[in-house]
Structure 1
Amino acid sequence: MKRISLIVMFLIGTCMVRAQHITGSWHGDLNAGSQKLGIVFHFEKDPAGKDVVKMDVPAQGAKDIPVKVDWLADDSVSLQVPVINVVYTGKWKEGTVEGTFVQHGMSFPLNLTTGEQDAPARPQEPKGSLGYKTEEVSFSNDAAGATLSGTLTCPAGYSEGKKVPVVLMVTGSGAQNRDEEVFGHKPFLVIADYLAKNGIASLRYDDRGVGRSTGNVKGATSRDFADDAAAGIAWLKDSRRFGKVGVLGHSEGGMIAFMLGADSVADFIVSMAGPGIKGDSLLAEQQNAQLRLYGKPANRTVKQVREEMKLQPKNAWLDYFADYDPASDIMNTTVPVMAINGSHDMQVLAESNLGAIRKYLADGNRQNLIKEYPGLNHLFQHCQLATSLDYYRIEETCAPEVLKDIADWINALR
C-alpha cells in the first residue's frame, strides 16, 4: 500500500544513455541482493529540443520520476535522480547501455536494452463478455466539496426489484483509482467481477482527486476518507435498488470499514488486512517484519518511529494514522464483521492485528468471521515468505479461496 507502505529497501533511481542511439523506452533489471527490480526509462525531447528523461519502477508502482541529465554523448551518459539520491553512469556498447547504479554508497550493475518491460500476466482480470452490467455513477461528500465517481456493478440476472446485497469498496492508503490499481494489479476489479458472478453488487470509486473524482486531498486524513465512503453508503441506500448495504475495505480501507461499522452506517463490513492495533505500533511492527525479511536487525521501536516523524515535513494523514487506535471503533461495531488476513502479510501482520480484532469483537455479532489464510500476503496472493513483498511479479491478484469466502459470507447474511 502506499501510505501504509513497504520500507523501500532500494529506492530505485535511474538514468539513460541516449545520444543518437537512444530514444523512446529502455529497460533493465537492477540486481540488488535478494531483489530484482525492473526499471523503465523514457527518453523524449521537449518543444525546445531539450532532452527529457523519466523513470518508471513498475514493481513499486512508481511512474514518471524525473531524471536530471548531467552528460549525454554518443557513447556515454551520466544522470541523476535527486529525489532518491541516485547517480547512474553508462556507456553504449553494441545495442546495450552498460552502466552502474549508485545509491547511498552502494553500487549495482544496471544494463539497459530497448523497449518496454514485459508486464506479468494477470489471468484473473475479466476479459470479453462479462455477463453482467456496469454503469458509471457518482455521489458527493458535500461537506468536503468532493464528488466521487465510480463503477456500479450489478450481478448477473439482476433486476430492479431484486434486493441483492451490495458492497462499497474502500481502497488502501494512498491516492488510488476505483480498481485499487497497485503494483500492476487491479484487486477491486477482480473482486467486483467475482461478486457479480455470485449474486452480489458492488460500487468501487476513484479516491478524491484521482481519476474522475474531485476534492482536495491535501491535509485529508483517514477520517475524511471515511466521510467520503459514508457518502457512498448513503447514496446506495437512497437508491433503494439493493438489499443489505455493506462496506469492503482493504488495508486502510479495512480500518475505515470499522469506523463506518461503529457509526452504524453499514449493514455489514468486510475488513481485508485492516489494522487492529494503534497506528504507531503498526508502523514499528511493519518495519521490523520487513527488516527480518531482509536479514537485518529488527529492533525498531514506537519511540523511534515517532522521533523520525518529527524530522519529516508535516503530514496530516500520517499524524492521524499514527495517533489512531481502532480499538474503540472495533468494540462499537455490532453489525456482522468479516475480518481476514494472510499469514505472510508484512504490512499489517495477522497475528497482532487479527488478534486484537478478535479480542475486541469477542462479545460481538454471532455472524462474525475472523480468519487467517496461510501463505497469503498483504494483497491476498499466494507466496513464499521470501516473496511476500514481490506483489508485481506474482501473477495472481487475489486468492480464489478468499474470493469464495467473501461471497459465501455475504450471501449467508440474514
Structure 2
Amino acid sequence: MKKLLTLLFIVYSVLSFSQDRKEIGNTFIKTLLIDKNTEKAHSYFDSSVAGLIPVEQLKSITEQLQEQLGGLKNILEVNHEGNTYYYYSEFEKTKLDVQLTFSDSNKLMGFFLIPHKTFEKPDEKTTLKIKSDAIELNGTLLIPPSNDKKRLVVFVHGSGANDRDETIGENKPFKDIAEYLLANGIASYRYDKRTYTYPEAFNEKSTVEEETINDAVNAADYFKNNADFKGYQIIILGHSQGAYLMPEIAKKAQVSKYIFMAGNARPLQDLLVEQYEYLHAMDPAKVSAQAVQEVKKQVAFLNSSQFNLNSPASELPLGQSAAYWQYLKNYNQLNEVKKIKAPMFFAQGGKDYQVTEKDFNLWKNELKNNKAAVFKLYPSLSHLFIVGSGKPSPKDYETKGKVDEQFLKDLTQFIL
C-alpha cells in the first residue's frame, strides 16, 4: 500500500563520530540519491546486515526511486525528534521526507521515505509519553477544558510509518478528528506509530502485534488503569489497518466502544492484487503490467502450500517477512468481530479505492443481527474521509482537505 514509502534499510555511517548528525545525513543522502555512488553508499551498511542487501539490490532500489520520484533537486529543511532526523526533500515529481534514525554513537540505523511531517512547537500540556513494552509512545493528549463528557478516544493508524496525525501530504486526518472531538467535549490520545519513531525495532520476526496491536492495547490500558481517568469511557478508533486489526485489539483491550474507519474485511493480500490492477488500469505508466504480474505471483506463492516461515521476504508481497504474513494468514477478522460485545461504528467512503464497499458490506452482513453495530456509507469520501472528486486515485492524498463534517457529526453522536 505504501511499499515505496516504507522501504527500510539498516545502515550506519563510516564518517567520524565527531561529525554533526545533520551533516552525516546530508552526506549519506547526497552519496545515494545525487551522486548515485551505490558502492560507496553500500559501504555505510553495518557488516551484520550488508549481506542482506547486496550492492545490486541497493542499485535497483535507487533506480526505482528515480523512476517514481524523479531526481533529488534540493533539501528544503531539516528537523529532528531525538535520534530521528527528517530531511524535507524536493524531488522532480514530489516532495517527501528522507527520515534517518541515528544510534547513540552517530551510526545511521534507519532510512525511510515518508510523507512530509510538519513540525510545530510541542505544547507540554498536551504531550504524553506512554510506556508500551520496551518503548515509549510519543503522543498528544487532548482533554476538554470544560464540558468534559468523560469519553476518551485512542487512535490507531493505518499501514505504513504514520505519525500521530496520520499525516499524508498536507492532510492530517487524525488531527482533524481529535480537534473536532475536543470541541465537543471528548478527550483523545493519538501517538506516533512505533515504526515511525523506532523503525529499527521492527525486524523479520515482527508481526502486526509488534507493529500495531500491542501499542493500541497498552495505550488503552494506560487510561483504563489511571486514576485520573476514573469514570471515563475508553473508546478505540482504528483507521484502515487499525480497523482491520480491531477485532484482535478488542480481544485484548476490552473497552467501551470501537470505531472502524475503512477497515478491510478481506485478506490483505487480496486487496493488494485488486489495488495493483486498479492503479494499472488508471495509469499503466506508473503501475506496469509487470508490477501487477509480480504481485500476483507473490500472492499466489503466499497462498500456496510452498509458503512457510523460512520463505524469503523477497518472494512475498510488500517485501514483508514470512512471520508477518503467517500471522495475517492465521487471522480471520470476520470470525473475531462477532465476539465483540461492545457497540461498534463502521464508516466507509464511497470514493476509496484502497478499501471498498465490498469490505463494508462484508462487515455489515457478518453483523446483520447485531443491534449494537452501526454502519454508515459516505459516497463522496476518500480513504482519508475527505470529500473527493472524480475517479478515486493516489492524487486524492495530494489534495489538501479536511475530514468531512457529516462524518464527524455521526462519529461524535456514536461516541456520546
User: Structure 1 length normalisation: TM-score?
Assistant: 0.65
Distance 1:182 1:109 in 2: 19
Structure 1: gaps of 5 or more residues: 12-44, 56-63, 71-80, 89-100, 120-124
Question: How many Å apart are 1:396 and its aligned residue?
Answer: 0.4
198-207 vs 376-385, which deviates more?
376-385
Give the aligned residue type for 1:329: E
Structure with higher helix content = 2
Contact map agreement 1:337 1:368 (CA 8 A) in 2: yes
Aligned length: 325
183, 201, 212: which is aligned to 1:216?
A: 201
Name the structure 2 match of 1:235: 222
Matched ranges for 1:146-225 at <5 A: 146-157=135-146, 164-208=150-194, 210-211=196-197, 216-218=201-203, 219-224=205-210, 225=212
Name the structure 1 match of 2:343: 336
The answer to whether structure 1 residue 280 and structure 2 residue 269 are counterparts is yes
CA distance 1:328–1:180, shift in 2 (3 Å): same
Matched ranges for 1:13-412 at <5 A: 52=27, 54=29, 66-69=33-36, 82-86=59-63, 134-141=125-132, 144-157=133-146, 164-208=150-194, 210-211=196-197, 216-218=201-203, 219-224=205-210, 225-240=212-227, 241=229, 242-263=231-252, 265-294=254-283, 305-307=299-301, 311-312=315-316, 314=321, 316-348=323-355, 350-364=356-370, 366-411=371-416
Question: SS of the residue aligned with 1:228?
Answer: helix
Give the aligned residue type for 2:350: S
Question: How many Å apart are 1:270 and its aligned residue?
Answer: 0.7
Distance 2:375 2:394 in 1: 23
CA distance 1:391–1:134, shift in 2 (3 Å): farther
Give the aligned residue type for 2:178: A
Question: How many Å apart are 1:289 and its aligned residue?
Answer: 2.7
Distance 2:199 2:280 in 1: 38
Question: How many Å apart are 1:339 and its aligned residue?
Answer: 0.9
Structure with higher strand content = 1
Q: Which entry has the higher C-alpha Rg, 1 or 2?
A: 1
User: Structure 2 length normalisation: TM-score?
Assistant: 0.65
Deviations along 1:155-214, whole A, 9 cap, x unmatched?
A: 2415xxx55111100111122222222233222111111110011110111222544x79
Question: SS of the residue aligned with 1:274?
Answer: coil
Deviations along 1:26-59, whole A, 9 cap, x unmatched?
A: xxxxxxxxxxxxxxxxxxx968xx994748xxxx
Contact map agreement 1:183 1:391 (CA 8 A) in 2: no
CA distance 1:255–1:51, shift in 2 (3 Å): closer
Distance 1:331 1:290 in 2: 33
Distance 1:220 1:196 in 2: 35
Give the aligned residue type for 2:357: E
CA distance 1:254–1:175, shift in 2 (3 Å): same
CA distance 1:65–1:338, shift in 2 (3 Å): farther
CA distance 1:214–1:112, shift in 2 (3 Å): closer
Q: Percent identity?
A: 24
CA distance 1:210–1:393, shift in 2 (3 Å): closer
Contact map agreement 2:34 2:71 (CA 8 A) in 1: no
Distance 1:258 1:407 in 2: 21
Deviations along 1:217-247, whole A, 9 cap, x unmatched?
A: 2233223321221111111111242521110
CA distance 1:345–1:235, shift in 2 (3 Å): same
Question: SS of the residue aligned with 2:138?
Answer: strand
Question: How many Å apart are 1:370 and its aligned residue?
Answer: 1.1
Contact map agreement 1:288 1:299 (CA 8 A) in 2: no
Distance 2:63 2:186 in 1: 48
Distance 2:236 2:207 in 1: 19
CA distance 1:109–1:273, shift in 2 (3 Å): closer
CA distance 1:209–1:311, shift in 2 (3 Å): closer
Distance 2:217 2:72 in 1: 49
Question: How many Å apart are 1:263 and its aligned residue?
Answer: 4.4
CA distance 1:146–1:52, shift in 2 (3 Å): closer
CA distance 1:111–1:270, shift in 2 (3 Å): closer
Contact map agreement 2:149 2:185 (CA 8 A) in 1: no
Distance 1:395 1:230 in 2: 31
Name the structure 1 match of 2:47: none
Contact map agreement 2:32 2:62 (CA 8 A) in 1: no
Give the aligned residue type for 1:281: D
Provide the aligned C-alpha RMSD in A.
4.3
Question: SS of the residue aligned with 2:327?
Answer: helix
251-260 vs 330-339, which deviates more?
251-260
Question: How many Å apart are 1:385 and its aligned residue?
Answer: 4.0
CA distance 1:111–1:197, shift in 2 (3 Å): closer
Deviations along 1:303-334, whole A, 9 cap, x unmatched?
A: 65233766245353344335532111211122
Contact map agreement 1:155 1:196 (CA 8 A) in 2: yes
Contact map agreement 1:226 1:260 (CA 8 A) in 2: yes
